[in-house]
Amino acid sequence: MSERDPVRLFLALWPRPSLRGRLAAYRDAWHWPVGAKPVADETLHLTLHYIGAFPRGGLAGLTESLAAVPVESMVLRPGGAEVWKGGIAVLRIAGDASLAALHEGLAGVLARFGIALDARPFAPHVTLARKAVRAEAPGDRPAFQWRASSFVLVESIPGGSARYEVLSRFGGRQARSDIDSG
């Protein structure tokens, strides 16, 4: 691969396996229409910013700049379940001021690299499925608190299904357990 070859990137909060298991169980409690495409367990995450195509040769500079963004510990809670336009089934995530500050700080770095930012307001969520226009959420939302103090830079690997590779982790280490019941 050439340094000029682009990679497809995004920034995300990446849950530990214990929380990912709870998110997967919640996803599995939905009633999915025929043809729905539930997201694989190992790829459940909360996207902070979609970067898109980025030159491979620029990864070191981007990584260095992202490492300078401060990350405060944050507590995220499940919000409501929705099916968005286009059939995207999501679990909304209620964040705190630390999540908003992280999103804004990352936006500043991306803008300096000339990366186009999404004009829509930040709507923290975990995508559960695609092609899910008539999906029905379970009556209860999951009970957890997601404790996070880091974010990741992820490469989206081209191919038939979503495959992601975490390239770098930034910020403090997540608490020993990133979930609390409740």
Average pLDDT, the chain: 91
Residue 48 in tokens:
């902070």
What are the pLDDT digits (tens) for 25-49?
Answer: 999 999 999 999 999 999 999 999 9
For 117-135, letters b (16+ CB in 10 Å) and e give eeeeeeebbbbbbbbbeeb
Task: Give the Cβ contact number of residue 20 at 10 Å.
Answer: 19
CB 129 within 8 A of CB 32: yes
For 50-83, letters b (16+ CB in 10 Å) and e give bbeebeeeebeebeeebeebebeebebbbbebeb
Residue 63 in tokens:
């990584």
- Distance CA(150)–CA(170), nearest Å, equals 5
Question: Does the pTM exceed 0.85?
Answer: yes
Q: What is the average pLDDT across 88-102?
A: 94
Higher-confidence position of 4 and 58:
58
Confidence of residue 148 (pLDDT cuts 50, 70, 90): very high
- Catalogue all structural domains in the chain, each as residue range(s) with its CATH number: 6-180 (3.90.1140.10)
Confidence of residue 175 (pLDDT cuts 50, 70, 90): very low
The 3-state DSSP class for residue 103 equals: helix
